[in-house]
Structure formats: C-alpha cells, structure tokens
Amino acid sequence: MSTDETFGEYGGQFVPESLMPAIEELTEAYERYVLDNEDGFMDEFRRRLADFGGRPLPLQHAESLSDRYDTEVYLKREDLLHGGAHKLNNALGQVLLAKYMGKERIIAETGAGQHGTATAMAAAHLDMPCEIYMGETDIRRQRPNVFRMKINGAEVNPVTTGRGTLKEAISETMRDWATTVETTHYVIGSVVGPAPFPAMVRDFQAVISEEAREQVQEKAGRLPDSVLACAGGGSNTMGTFHHFVDDEDVGLYAVEAGGSSLEVDEAEGVAPNSASLSTGDEGVLHGARTKLLQDSHGQIMESHSVSAGLDYAGVGPELAHLVDEDRVDAVNVDDDSALEAFHRLSQDEGVIPALETAHAFGYLKEHHDELGDLVIVNVSGRGDKDLETVLEETEKRDLDVAPDMSVLRDAAGSGGDL
Amino acid sequence: MGLERVFADEPAFVPYVAAGDPTYEESLEYVEALERGGADVIELGLPFSEPIAEGSTIQEAVVRSLEGGMTPDRYFEFVEDLDVDVPLVCMTYYNLIAQYTHPETGETGPRAFARRASEVGIEGFVVVDLPAEEAGPLREACDEFGQDLVFIIAPTTKGERLERMREHVSGYVYVQARLGVTGARDDVSDQTEESLARVDDWAVPKAVGFGIKTGEHAERIVAAGADGVIVGSALVDIVADGADPDVDQPFPETVQRLESKARELKEGALAGAERAAAERSD
Ligand SMILES: Cc1ncc(COP(=O)(O)O)c(C=O)c1O
C-alpha cells in the first residue's frame, strides 16, 4: 500500500536542495532509532512519555453524552497529557531524536501554540535551545500558550506574512532551517512535510490508538464502531486511527474545520474553512504532495477556522490517501457547531476541550445516529488556551447552550480585556 | 545548443526578477533594462504564494506580483510581450507546474507546462522545491521539448547526492553560495570556493548565486572559478524602491538604476575573468 515515503500518490520530498541532505540524515536516524530501537531509543521515549508525559492516559466512559445520544461514548483523554494536548507525544519523540542525532538546536512552528508549547517543554526537559515561529494572528488568539513557551525558555518569533497563521509559520520555519540545517532539527508539528516526517510523526502519535484499542477491549469487551478525531495537519487523527486501520469494521472519521462556509472566494484566494480533505485538490506544499486548498492556478489559499490549530491549507499525505481509499471518512463541522460543542462538553462532562477538539464533538452531536453503538472520541487537547476566543466568539452568536458570560465582562470593566 | 552556449565565450551575468513585479507593464521595461545592461540569461520568476526558499526581498516581490494578478498563463503572455533576445529560464515552485492546464490541449501537469513554456520560447527551468529525486516527469518533458533543467547545488550537497545530481543537470549548474534563503549580502561567502571546488570537473557551466550584490562580488566569484553570477535580491531591491502602488508606469530612474546595476555586475564578472586569466599566467 505504501513505502511510507509515499502513500499512494501522496507524500514525497519536495524541498529546496539545501534541506535534502538533512532529510536523508533524518531518514536514516528514523530507521535506526525509531524503527529498529537502536541504542534503546524507543525504550527511553516510552519511559519519558510515562514519567514526564503522564502516560498511559485514561479512556473515560462519558456518561452524560452516552445518555444524551443513546450511544456508548468513550473519551480518549489526550488533554491530560503533559502540556494539555496530544502534541507532546510527537514533540518529545522528535526532540529526543534530535539529541540522539547530535543536533544542537530545535526550531518549530506552531498554530494553536500547543505544538510550540509541547516542543518548548520537551526542549527544556532535554536541555536544548529552542525557537518557535508563530503567526501574528495566532499569537493574538492563543496568548496563554505564548506565555507558556516563553516561560519554558523558548524564543517566540512572530510571523507577519500572509494572514499570520500556521501556513506562514511553517514557511518561515523552513527558511530558518535552510540556513541552520547542519546544527538544527526542525520539529514539525504534524504528519505533514517531506518524508520521513509524516510516517515518523504518525509513529510517535500512534501511542494514542495503541492504548485506546487495548482499553476499549478491556472496558467494553469489543472494538468500537466508530473513532472520531479532529484534523488540522492530521497528527491527532493519524495517531488516533493508526492501530484501528486494519480493523475494517471500525469507522474512522476525520473531522475538519468547516469554518464559516465551504464556499471559496477564488478571486481573493480565501477559503473560509480549513477543510482540505473534504474540498481540496491534490498539489504540492511544504515538502509533500497532498490535498490542498488552492486556486485553479495552484496558488495556496488562506484558510480559516475559529480554532488556530485546524487553520491550515494542507493535510498529511497518509490521511489524504486513506480518504481516497475510503478507509477514512473526511467530514467537517462549522465554527458555530464547534463552539456549541465546546460548551456542551464542558457542561455535560466537566471536560473543557480545545476548540480543535470541539469539532469532533460537533460531529458527534450532528451524526450520532450513524456512528453505531460504541464510539471513541479523541479529546486532542484541553481548552484553557481558548477561553479568550470562546468569550469573544460566543458573544457574537446566539447559542442556546452557552452560559451567560456577563459576569466576566463586568469584572473586566468596560475596556473588557481578560 | 542549450543554455551552455551563453557561458562559452565569457562569464555570464544571470539576473533574476519576478515577472509582474511591481506591475505587468513596469516589469516588462525592467526586464528589458536588464538585457541592455548586459544580461546573458534571464531567470524570470513565476511567483508562487509560498516561496519557502526566498528571503524577505523576493517574498515581497512575489506578493506584489500576485496582487497584480499574475498567473501562469499571464506569465506566458508576459514572456511573449517581452522584447529581449537573451534566453529565458523560468524559475518557480513545483505546485504551479503540477497544477498547470494547457489552454489548448487541456493537458495538465509538467508536460503541459513545459509545452506551453516552449511555445513562448522559454529554454529552461529552475524549480526551487524539486530535488533530482522528484524531477522525473519534468525531466522527461524537458527532453521532449528541448529544454534544460537546472539544479541547485547547496553547500550541504555532498557525496552520493552530488553524483546523482551530476547525472540530472543540464544547461548550467546553479551553485548556491551560502546556506539559507535568497537575499543580498554585504560580503561574499567563504563557502563559495569550496562549493565550486565540488563541481570543478562537471561538464556544465557553473553559475553562482545567493547573496551577490555588487560588481566587486561578481568579480571575486568569477575569479574564484565561476562561469557566471546569478543576482536576484540586489535587483529586486531596486524594483521595490521604485514600486509605487499609485503609479502603474515604470519610473525612468528605476529603469536607469537597473540597467546600470546590471552593467556593474556584468563588468564585475568580466573583470573577474581577467583576474583569473592573469593569475593563471603568473
Ligand atoms: C488540541 C489540538 N487538537 C488538534 C490539533 C490539530 O492538529 P493535528 O491535526 O495536526 O493533530 C491541534 C493543533 O494545534 C491542537 O492543538
């Protein structure tokens, strides 16, 4: 089915020549340390994921949601991973690998700030200097994570090009890498980029489905009918799906950000969504052939989502392939539905999800009838980072389920800055 | 035949500018000024929205050009409208080639792109994010339409990779003078000579680019053994200086500055060749 450099027609290595030797070096290191566990790399990774990261993480039976939807719903609690999102699985793996490779410096891009935070934490933990590129728009909407990165000792470099979101941050990190490639490892934050990144990031994230598969059998005595995860670049989905891919009876749902609409404005080069799997076309971006939001000439569109972590015009090549093969269903929910789901999960279950994660719960609400009797939803991250955005976006809408937030506004005074 | 010919008698000056920067009309005049100043081959950028190998100078040029409505078909029209005699090389990123649809045949992809490019007289390509490993389909199309595919050798390219690229390259080899992204610099990288040494015995001409800004830089680089110099950002900086969003007219000063900058660089390259010849006869 794939050589893991390519997934069907997707994947590959489309990068400037200056980066190619580093990619060859990384490929070799990935094969030796990750695939062959040379020098006990994977043992050390697992030990650190447990001691530093807090794994294994629970698969929680969600009682209220199960009642509400008349379906057994289980939550895979990646929000309980150190740092508050699944991102640490990958960041820790890559920073450790960079150490084994003798690299001296870490760089990374971040959208929601979760990957930047996880990388900054892993770098501090493993004593590596670290710089993070983050779009200006995302710095504004994810301030708590900017604080956390800085407090962990990372430099945060604002990216002002384009709309100042994840796409621009990735381009800028690649520019840094092209200059510093001999000493620096680029910890890419999702299953995107040139091979071997998509396969390697998937392998680091696959611990999610490895645990979930065992836990569901233990708790429910069988495999689930459906597994749901939100998809930005796709690391959360690939990690959550990987060990279920061969279980043909398990439905796999990658929930993308439908934003405010699935229509695109070709003239402006803007897609008011980030649904590259559902609506994109094949193309080449950031080192791989994959599905992209692009205009008819091949220029990449600006994407949109209320959640910074899903706001990306591309998606991982393996996920694109699994969708083409009809093994994964690419679905999407819009900003409104995600916000509503954010409030519902917080009130029903006492779990405040990231806005990214809330997309998966939005889909659960709208389609629980079609998902079978036993559903796992991956809680990719916790929502503390999103509280400012949630306040602002909730006020713009008339959501039945939202609490009255006026107490916050009153407390903050008329200038109203939390 | 092939782009090799322009390097045969004397060191070549190879300017880069983005087509359509800052506007279509201005850009036509600017490219023509470069030829008058002494350009031997022109690398004409087809702007891509995510130029990951470009520094801020060219990145901003790309934004200006795209905002002016540049598209691949408009680019080919631009080439047809240009009044220059020197060969043109299309410099771009792979997605625009992969997505291209030929307006008459309806064919898409590298072959369609190469065909359309050959119809307007483009003789070669530099595709920034297309390493030799992924270049198969475009290479085949280039062979079919008699075009050259130029590869960039980076300071990091060594050993086996270098050998593999040697088999793929045609026209000239683009020797990247320093690691990093494009952008004019105040000094010549020490990596240049070492990089040139690595391709010393290659049969194709060697053109050095990345960071070259002055005639004196050009002289040193040719004296160090290069067959040509590629200069982008130092020229695009002049275009940017003369970019006025309210005026869609080439400024005579900008035309003049580009022409004399080109002359300075060409003369620098020629002086470098003389210096090398003098050193050899010592
Ligand atoms: C909490 C959370 N979930 C999901 C994502 C989506 O990214 P990916 O699909 O690459 O896992 C992000 C990205 O930042 C995130 O922070």
Query: pLDDT > 90: what percent of chain A?
Result: 89
Tell me the range of A356-360, B185-189, B245-249 where mean pLDDT is highest: A356-360
Q: Which helix (H) or strand (E) holds A259?
A: strand A251-259
CA atoms of B85 and B153, how far apart (whole Å): 28
The verdict on a CB contact (< 8 Å) between A18 and B155 is yes
Please provide residue A2's backbone torsions phi and psi, each rounded to the nearest 5 degrees. Answer: -160, 160
Report the residue of chain B nearest A284, measured CA to CA: B95
Of B26, B29, B43, B259, the catalytic one is B43
Q: Which residue of A17, A23, A180 to mutate against B (max B Cβ within 10 Å)?
A: A17
The verdict on a CB contact (< 8 Å) between A300 and B49 is yes
The verdict on a CB contact (< 8 Å) between A178 and B176 is no
Reply yes or no on whether the pLDDT at B81 is more than 70: yes
Please state the rounded mean pLDDT for residues B132-138.
93
- What is the pLDDT confidence band of residue A3, given thresholds at 50, 70 and 90? low
Tokens standing for residue B209: 């680019």
Using a CB-CB cut-off of 8 Å, the residues of chain A touching B134 are: 12-14
Tokens standing for residue A417: 């800055």
- What pLDDT score does A418 carry? 47
Residue A13's alpha-carbon distances to A195, A203, A284, A415, B260, in angstroms, are 6, 18, 10, 49, 40
**Which of A315, A356, A384 is the best mutation target for the ligand 1 pocket, counting ligand atoms within 8 Å of the beta carbon and taking the most?**
A356
CA atoms of B46 and B94, how far apart (whole Å): 11
The answer to whether A10 and A317 are in contact (CB under 8 A) is yes
- Is the whole-model pTM more than 0.90? yes
Q: What is the pLDDT of residues B235-246, one digit of tens each?
A: 999 999 999 988
Reply yes or no on whether the pLDDT at A416 is more than 50: no
CA atoms of B91 and B113, how far apart (whole Å): 13
Using a CB-CB cut-off of 8 Å, the residues of chain B touching A19 are: 156
Q: What is the pLDDT of residues A74-112, one digit of tens each?
A: 999 999 999 999 999 999 999 999 999 999 999 999 999
Reply yes or no on whether the pLDDT at B97 is more than 80: yes
Tokens standing for residue A218: 């233990």
Return all residues near A97 (Cβ < 8 A) that are at least 6 apart.
A29, A30, A33, A34, A41, A185
Atom index in ligand 1 nearest the CA of residue A353 equals: 1
Using a CB-CB cut-off of 8 Å, the residues of chain B touching A282 are: 98
Please state the rounded mean pLDDT for residues A136-140.
93
**Range from A255-264, A276-285, A316-325, B186-195 carrying the lowest mean pLDDT:** B186-195
Reply yes or no on whether the pLDDT at A2 is more than 90: no
Please state the rounded mean pLDDT for residues B184-196.
88
The verdict on a CB contact (< 8 Å) between B180 and A174 is no
ipTM over 0.90: yes
